[in-house]
Amino acid sequence: MPHCWTEWVILVQIIGHDRRPDSVWSRTILAVLGLAAAVIAWPADGAELADSETRACQHCHGLPDWRIHDPVSGNALELSIDSAAYLGSSHGELPCRTCHEWGYDKIPHTGAGHYPIYLCVVCHDKDRALESFHLDERKTDLRGSVHGATDDGPLDCHSCHDPHDFRPINDSADALKRIEQSNAVCLRCHGRVPRAAGSFVQPDAEPFHGHFPNPANHLRKIKCVACHTAAGSATFHDIKPKEQSVDDCGQCHTPTSRLLDAVYGAQRPGQQTNPGEDAYVIGSTRSPRLERLSQILFAILLGAIAMHAIARVIPWQRSRRQRSSDERGPDDA
């Protein structure tokens, strides 16, 4: 049940939108009601949004769990924006109209000015602060990946990276936290309880990893992209079909493991991390001191055994020679 007048207006709009109003009168009434809502809108509690226009947007889109059925695409549209999350995100200082530039004057919005695909790359093109992320390459890799042609068309940057809750990359020293943050992006759609709305939600990823020993542990301690991108991938956006994903233990459990860079390595170019101190990967992680100590111990032991064996054999051979010469007798000598 709506709690205030504004929410009643929104309800009317939603109903009107779903009924596809086609008369000029109904469109006008809905537009007036929507504008009225925006005019009398007051700032959301605790939110310090950038401008009055953005505050007006937030008054409707700040409602929790606001989801409608889009008659055009057939998908469920998530219309709620968490103001606190947005304000704390990398884009928190931007007014809504920075990205939602055209087609948002009318209520309900026509969507005619829906932001273009790969808008991140458009906005951040030649952004020196983001140069090291090579967004152009990410875009190319994404388009060539399984996500570049899904049943619902190509996925956009925003399909995985929520622009309203976009945060700087996790520089945590704790590898598990970095892995969790990276995998959370994939699990929005591929998780047991998908959080992303829409028909592209895929089945739970966990049952498909039953061939791993300790599958739950592998999924918790490996970034999905480590195995599901091409070897040596620089951007980790070229997600391969599952038939081409890494299925050979030897690719990770060796000293030249692809895991070390993909999972435990530096999060951004130039960053220094020591993967060996972050995790233990059988066959990959080795303690140089322990290796050297064990080699010395084995060398000493085998040397001692060899010397001991020789010391046993020499007198035994001597006595055998002596015995045979005794048996031959002095005349045979």
Partner 1 sequence: MTREVVNPLWLRVWHGALALLFMGLIATGVSMHYAGSEWPMVPFRIAVMGHNACGIGAALLWLFFVIRSAVSGHLAHYVPADLHIIHSAVLQARYYAFGMFRGDAPPLSPGLRNNSAQQLVYAFVLFVLMPFSIVSGVLLLFPILAPEHALGRPGLWPMAILHLSVGYLLTLFVVVHVYLATTGETFFALFREMITGVRETSDPKD
Single residue of 78, 134, 253, 265 touching partner 1 by CB under 8 A: 253
Q: SS3 for 101?
A: coil
Nearer to partner 1, 46 or 213 (CB): 213
Stated as kind and residue range, the H or E segment containing 67 is: strand 67-69
Which two structure tokens, joined as six digits, stand for 236?
A: 């980790």
Cβ 281 to partner 1, closest distance in Å? 9
Cβ 191 to partner 1, closest distance in Å? 19
Cβ 175 to partner 1, closest distance in Å? 7
209 binds partner 1 (CB under 8 A): no
Cβ 285 to partner 1, closest distance in Å? 7
Residue of 115, 114, 164, 169 whose CA lies nearest to 138: 169
Residue 48: partners with Cβ closer than 8 Å, 6 or more residues away:
87
303 binds partner 1 (CB under 8 A): no
Ranges within 166-205 binding partner 1 (CB under 8 A): 175-176
Nearer to partner 1, 234 or 309 (CB): 309
286 binds partner 1 (CB under 8 A): yes
Q: Could you identify the residue written with the tokens 């690719």?
A: 251
Only one of the segments 23-31, 50-58, 123-131, 273-281 lies at the binding site for partner 1 (rule: CB under 8 A); that segment is 273-281
Cβ 250 to partner 1, closest distance in Å? 5
Query: In Å, what is the CA distance from 144 to each residue of 117, 187, 199, 223?
Result: 15, 21, 21, 20
Check: CB of residue 201 under 8 Å from CB of residue 193.
no
Nearer to partner 1, 169 or 302 (CB): 302
Task: Write out the DSSP string of 258-300.
Answer: HHHHHTSS-SSTT----HHHH---TTT---HHHHHHHHHHHHH
Only one of the segments 30-38, 112-120, 212-220, 227-235 lies at the binding site for partner 1 (rule: CB under 8 A); that segment is 212-220
Q: What one-character DSSP code corresponds to residue 173?
A: S
Nearer to partner 1, 28 or 319 (CB): 319
Q: What are phi and psi of 217, to 5 degrees?
A: -70, -40
Interhelix angle 5-18/52-61, nearest 10 degrees: 70
Check: CB of residue 259 under 8 Å from CB of residue 226.
yes
Only one of the segments 151-159, 165-173, 307-315, 322-330 lies at the binding site for partner 1 (rule: CB under 8 A); that segment is 307-315
39 binds partner 1 (CB under 8 A): no
Ranges within 313-332 binding partner 1 (CB under 8 A): 315
Which two structure tokens, joined as six digits, stand for 283?
A: 């066959």
Instruction: Provide the terminal-to-terminal Cα distance of the chain, rounded to the nearest Å.
Output: 120
Single residue of 290, 329, 331, 333 touching partner 1 by CB under 8 A: 290
Only one of the segments 27-35, 75-83, 201-209, 290-298 lies at the binding site for partner 1 (rule: CB under 8 A); that segment is 290-298
Binding site for partner 1 (CB under 8 A): 175-176, 213-214, 216-217, 249-250, 253-256, 277-280, 282-287, 290, 294, 297-298, 301-302, 305, 308-309, 311-312, 315
